[in-house]
Structure 1
Amino acid sequence: MTAGGAVACAALLLPLLSAGPSATAERAPADSLQGTFAAAAAEYGVPESVLLGVSYLQSRWDAHGGAASVTGGYGPMHLTDARTAIAEAPHHSHGTEDARGDESRPARSVVEAALPDPAELPPRLRTLERAAEVSGIGADELRDSAAANVRGGAALLAQAQRELGGPAGADPADWYGAVARYSGADDVATATTYADDVFDVIRTGQSRTTDSGQRVELEPDPAVSPDRTQVRRLGLRTADTGRTECPPTVACEWIPAPYEEFGDGDYGNHDQAGRPASQSVDYIVVHDTEASWDTTLQLVQNPQYVSWQYSLRSSDGHIAQHVPLEDVAWHAGNWFVNAKSVGLEHEGFLVSPDAWYTEAMYRTSARLVRYLAKRYDIPLDRQHILGHDNVPGTTAATIRGMHTDPGPYWDWAHYFKLLGRPFTPSAGPDSSVVTIRPEYTRHQPLYTGCAKAGEACAPHGSGAVRLHTAPSESAPLVKDVGLRPGGQDSTTGVNDTGARASTGQQYAVAERRGDWTAIWYLGQKAWFHNPRTQPVAVAAREQVLTPKDGLAEVPVYGRAYPEASAYPPGVPVQAVSPLPYKLLAGQRYVVGDRVPGEYLYATTFDTAGHKVVRGEEMYYEIQFGHRVAFVKAADVRVLG
């Protein structure tokens, strides 16, 4: 998308749900966060609405207790100090899975990427250093104090305005160029899209209570009309849009992954496929990169590595597309899911599980997902919009190696609100199905292992609830026999998905006792604390399934593969291998799609030998545990 295209489509920006503040809001006390924004704006001559709008797009005004974002940004203004963040944060791996997830060829595992050399970090990851220079505020204070952080961000905006020759003063329309520069984007389209988003926030207004309990309001200014030509003064490059497949409301760049043969019958790093004519696209999978932006781009361009369709940058929401949507990328660790999905990698090079993502990235990601969902008629629900941590292992042997990103700190509730599909009640209070939906900021369950095994993570909002064997906080967590075949209890580890239900996931209710609700989960009854005064789930009306009469149990699968008789000569039969779980008589699970058994045979560089095998056997996708699963339609009956 060219700069002109970005400007022309500004009016088409996806409407984002907001709670507009009162136009008669009283002036906030000086010692409040609202007062801090007002004081900093006055001190540096920045319009208060511009300062609030930029901060909202970076952090939604949250301070995150001084914790760094996934790209080393601190505080409400997301001042980046990746040098310090790298030194202080551990590097985490999320699994050892074969990214292709296809046993018919050698494993292609994702290796752990090295952290970047602090001396080589780009300017967009060192804005706190510049803020310290222009404001005179110490780096430690800018990281640790929300008030200092806001002042530092105001100083950066004022400096950008001076350098661009813009007037100081209270007219926000004059500050478009300075806002675009604050993004740190190195191309015209991304800087323009970022500034358009900030001014969309200014026009519509916002109001929310931050993670520190502070109420902040930005009154709407629907008449503001900035001069978008100011972005031309920034001297930015024009990104190559090439073969990008993106909505006009995001900035998208074409950085292709290689389709290349390199000997011994091997090739990389994706498969040509001709979707959706060959196979339907049914899933979108949300990942984090586990690498810096530059490293991410280097890896996806390596034919001996793996691939995904899109990468999203944290600081400004910039998108790079690598694999055409018609082709199959190797990203989810499950070949059935890979063949029918699109993979989105979100930048997170520190990979601290308790780090946070910017609002700019959430918004561009949501716009991309809406575009993809409309293009392929993908339902906007949690059985089709999956985290990598919701993708099932293919066999019993692969379960323990499956990745756990984006983890319990990804804000699914906010993400789906941006998608225009907030999780709201759809049934009465005694419904037979619930949708998990804790209040993200206030819901802070204990997690361990963010920095060191067994050590408590810093308190942090979470979209996941913990599941117990009985209606008591002291009861053991439910077991996951796939993760722990020895029968050990699940743990509070941040990467342990064995006893976790995530926002948006839906489960059949097994029992209620006072403030506790039990759901059917991994073949057992799992309890979570769900008080009426502060519920962590809402009522839902959905179809459920249960074993057919006369069956004591039915097997559960990690993929929906065809029966042996469906395979033509020359295509090896793939085992229909059950997972080590059982769906027992009397238990119920929420129904997703009804799908035929399918297998994409694509093990050669020459696509002439590729085949899609479809069987007569039908499957249902179900929400079985933290991850989805499949059961044969012949084994179950659908209720409701």
Structure 2
Amino acid sequence: MTSFTRRGALRALAAGTAGAAVVAAPGASAAAGSARQRAFADAAAEFGVPESVLLGVSYLKSRWDSHGGAPSTSAGFGPMHLTDLRAVAAGGSHHDKGAEDPRGDLARGVLAPRRSAALQTVDLAASLTGVDAATLRTDPVQNIRGGAAVLAQYQRELGVRADGPAGWYGAVARYSGASDTGAATFFADEVFATIAAGAHRTTDDGQAVTLPAIPVSPQREQVRALGLAAVAEGAAEAPPGLAVEWIPAPYQDLGDGNYGNYDKAERPHSQKITHIVIHDTECTYDAAIGLVQDPTYLAWHYTLRSTDGHVAQHVLTKDVGWHAGNWYVNAKSIGVEHEGFAAQGSWYTEAMYRASAQLVRFLAAKYRIPLDREHIIGHDNVPGTTPETVAGMHWDPAPYWDWAHYFDLLGAPLNARPVRQPTGLVMIKPDFASNPAGYTGCDASAPGAACPARGSSAVFLRTEPRDDAPLLADAGLHPDGGPSTAAISDVGSRASTGQRYAVAETRGEWTAVWFLGQKGWLRSSGVVPVLGQVVTPRPGLSSIPVYGRAYPEAAAYPEGITPQEIVPLPYTLAAGQKYAAGPTLESEYFWATTFDPASHVVVRGATKYVQIQFGHRVAFVQLDDVVVARTSP
């Protein structure tokens, strides 16, 4: 485990993750008239909590948003993230849903995942305020009062009398909900870093809120009085200042040629790590931890807890986790799971976003992975391996993951260097807060019902430049030839923030991009011009195949290892079409079918591939089939 040091964030956020998210505030006057600002001031005065502390805690939980009363991924509600597990259904894992084999390699056989079977601060808030739980969940003003009451109670129980924010460190750490000192300290440090730097933003319901910058030296020793557990020692890989618990996944020989739940490797010496895959768990943190410790299940590298940003590592990054549903991607990536329920339309806490960004930025630097959407991808961007597997691929972390905010926290803002003129290449970049999109199917009991109207990082693509035009077809997801749908699980006609596409046509306020072999129309307000590379079929080729993995040619396989068939996906890239080019990749196949890692072999071929943004998911084309050209204004 890495040592937990005093955070640089307390040096007024000189650099790093938090500095990208928090903007120094000029003063409270700009937001003095907003109802949300007054609610914080009134609750702070009523319960004797420093207003800066109340604002800082709320920022780390929700960024002051109300989310329309919808729960977070850890069953938290409202600006103060009061938790109510009774109100949120939970169970299973996203690896249990659909037909995807998480390992994504038939040479090993298909995995058969098993199913698995807190905090309740809303009850404490109800007892302290006399307000019922339903109101505390849905009324932002009462939610803020409830959070202030809970913070004040925690301060009383610590027996600390303090006039200023510095003496509230222990209560803030406890409010994190963490069960260990590492996560509690991380949360409290981020809160006080926010207080030191100040912040200002407009919430999801249009409320301007300001936290003026206040120099503060918090009494960090107070965390010892909470009696929390120490973070487990072990081999965890993490940046300084982020405590990561080592909860290893078992690597066991189960007999009869079966073993689990990941593969030993020697990356990056055996293979370069080129991607980081962002997942959500579709189960609680505790359930995910139980699953990853099951030797008959499957394993990923890291899990993050929503309420406080706590991080656990299960597989060393040199080893190959079974998480992405595509063996080529598994062998080249690190899998990071975030506690979440995408299908419920729930939201991710700021604490988890920040912890994840610190972790991913560290991993990207360690393995020289570019911080862009070609290399930092969602599970929903991973392609199927063959035509038969496309429909079973997963779609997390879904459109409610705020990619623009996440890249701000990574210190790599999307479109950091704006291009003012058309280039023939655009980046998807809608305004998250004002982009409800209109999904259906968040409630499993009512598949056609509308999802909660809240911000989204994705946009729909249509067959014509009008809002009521049908969505595009996806031959892999909808082999009957019908159009894609607005279902939250249907990515067949959806583009996500940060993804880049080649422009096919423009008409007035509409832009068409090449998408799965079709022109997909979206409003031009949702895109920005960018520079980059595009691919198109070589002259003389009417169309070229598109692949879900970059495997070597048959001649590259040594004796005793069965060549993996290079199977095209059910799409083609026709002459005249262009697609945004990502990295050029060597062809590789990681042969790992036995428990003994000494028998594992990396097969490398002469064939090279280019990763492209072909639809919502990435895909691969052979370099010899395409011309790669750089765009210009």
TM-score, normalised with respect to structure 2: 0.96
Shift, 1:3, TM fit: 7.8
Distance change >3 Å, CA 228–CA 399, structure 1 → 2: same
1:149-176 deviation digits (Å, cap 9, x = unpaired): 000000111111111111143x111111
Aligned match of 2:500: 506
1:358 equivalent in alignment to 2:349: yes
Query: Equivalent of 2:253, from 241, 254, 261?
Result: 261
Distance change >3 Å, CA 24–CA 329, structure 1 → 2: closer
Q: Which runs of no fewer than 5 residues in structure 2 stay unpaired?
A: none
1:505-553 deviation digits (Å, cap 9, x = unpaired): 00000110011000001111110122xxxx2111101111100000000
Aligned match of 1:453: 447
Aligned amino acid, residue 19 of structure 1: V
Aligned match of 1:97: 100
Query: Equivalent of 2:204, from 198, 202, 211?
Result: 211
Aligned match of 2:120: 126
Shift, 1:25, TM fit: 1.8
Following the alignment from structure 1 to structure 2, what is the Cα–Cα distance between the partners of residues 597 and 32?
57
Alignment of 1:118-157 (within 5 A): 122=118, 125-157=119-151
Aligned match of 1:80: 83
* Secondary structure at 1:201 match in 2: helix
Alignment of 1:310-321 (within 5 A): 310-321=302-313
Following the alignment from structure 1 to structure 2, what is the Cα–Cα distance between the partners of residues 351 and 33?
27
Distance change >3 Å, CA 90–CA 462, structure 1 → 2: farther
Paired residues of 1:176 and 1:231 also in contact (CA < 8 A): yes
Paired residues of 1:3 and 1:189 also in contact (CA < 8 A): no
Shift, 1:445, TM fit: 1.0
**How many positions carry a matched residue from both structures?**
622
Distance change >3 Å, CA 140–CA 562, structure 1 → 2: same
1:378 equivalent in alignment to 2:369: yes
Is the deviation greater in 535-544 or in 316-325?
A: 535-544
Aligned amino acid, residue 350 of structure 2: E
Shift, 1:15, TM fit: 4.2
1:22 equivalent in alignment to 2:26: yes
Following the alignment from structure 2 to structure 1, what is the Cα–Cα distance between the partners of residues 16 and 613?
33
Query: Equivalent of 1:300, from 256, 274, 292?
Result: 292
Aligned match of 1:117: none
1:276-325 deviation digits (Å, cap 9, x = unpaired): 00000000001111111111111100110011000000000000000011
Aligned match of 1:635: 625
Shift, 1:227, TM fit: 1.2
1:183-240 deviation digits (Å, cap 9, x = unpaired): 011111111111000001001111111011000010111x211111111110111111
Aligned amino acid, residue 517 of structure 2: G
Is the deviation greater in 16-25 or in 431-440?
A: 16-25
Aligned match of 2:316: 324
Aligned match of 2:401: 410
Following the alignment from structure 2 to structure 1, what is the Cα–Cα distance between the partners of residues 159 and 440?
50
Alignment of 1:153-164 (within 5 A): 153-164=147-158
Distance change >3 Å, CA 214–CA 15, structure 1 → 2: closer
1:190 equivalent in alignment to 2:193: no
Following the alignment from structure 1 to structure 2, what is the Cα–Cα distance between the partners of residues 390 and 472?
26
Shift, 1:2, TM fit: 7.6
Following the alignment from structure 1 to structure 2, what is the Cα–Cα distance between the partners of residues 299 and 247?
26
* Secondary structure at 1:86 match in 2: coil
Aligned amino acid, residue 239 of structure 1: V
Aligned match of 1:494: 488
Shift, 1:6, TM fit: 5.2
RMSD: 1.8
* Secondary structure at 2:106 match in 1: coil
1:527-584 deviation digits (Å, cap 9, x = unpaired): 0122xxxx21111011111000000000000000000000000111100000010001
Following the alignment from structure 2 to structure 1, what is the Cα–Cα distance between the partners of residues 3 and 151?
22
* Secondary structure at 2:608 match in 1: strand
Paired residues of 2:401 and 2:457 also in contact (CA < 8 A): yes
Shift, 1:599, TM fit: 0.1
Aligned amino acid, residue 482 of structure 1: G
Query: Equivalent of 2:585, from 575, 586, 595?
Result: 595
Aligned match of 2:333: 341
Alignment of 1:110-125 (within 5 A): 110-114=113-117, 122=118, 125=119
Aligned amino acid, residue 546 of structure 1: T
Following the alignment from structure 2 to structure 1, what is the Cα–Cα distance between the partners of residues 209 and 8?
31
1:392 equivalent in alignment to 2:383: yes
Following the alignment from structure 2 to structure 1, what is the Cα–Cα distance between the partners of residues 154 and 18?
28
Distance change >3 Å, CA 423–CA 564, structure 1 → 2: same
Query: Equivalent of 1:248, from 232, 236, 240?
Result: 240
Following the alignment from structure 2 to structure 1, what is the Cα–Cα distance between the partners of residues 318 and 10?
28
1:181 equivalent in alignment to 2:174: yes
Aligned amino acid, residue 185 of structure 1: A
Distance change >3 Å, CA 156–CA 520, structure 1 → 2: same
Q: Which runs of no fewer than 5 residues in structure 1 stay unpaired?
A: 115-121
Aligned match of 1:119: none
Paired residues of 2:2 and 2:240 also in contact (CA < 8 A): no
Aligned amino acid, residue 232 of structure 1: R
Query: Equivalent of 2:610, from 620, 626, 631?
Result: 620
* Secondary structure at 2:88 match in 1: helix
Aligned amino acid, residue 216 of structure 1: V
Following the alignment from structure 2 to structure 1, what is the Cα–Cα distance between the partners of residues 421 and 81?
40
* Secondary structure at 1:478 match in 2: coil
1:283 equivalent in alignment to 2:278: no
Distance change >3 Å, CA 4–CA 508, structure 1 → 2: closer
Following the alignment from structure 2 to structure 1, what is the Cα–Cα distance between the partners of residues 45 and 9?
33
1:321-344 deviation digits (Å, cap 9, x = unpaired): 000111000000000000010000
* Secondary structure at 1:476 match in 2: coil
Aligned amino acid, residue 387 of structure 2: A
1:35-54 deviation digits (Å, cap 9, x = unpaired): 00000000011000000000
Aligned amino acid, residue 47 of structure 2: Y
Paired residues of 2:303 and 2:337 also in contact (CA < 8 A): yes
1:568 equivalent in alignment to 2:558: yes
Aligned match of 1:220: 213
* Secondary structure at 1:267 match in 2: strand
* Secondary structure at 1:71 match in 2: coil
Aligned amino acid, residue 387 of structure 1: G
Distance change >3 Å, CA 340–CA 448, structure 1 → 2: same
* Secondary structure at 1:438 match in 2: coil
* Secondary structure at 2:514 match in 1: strand
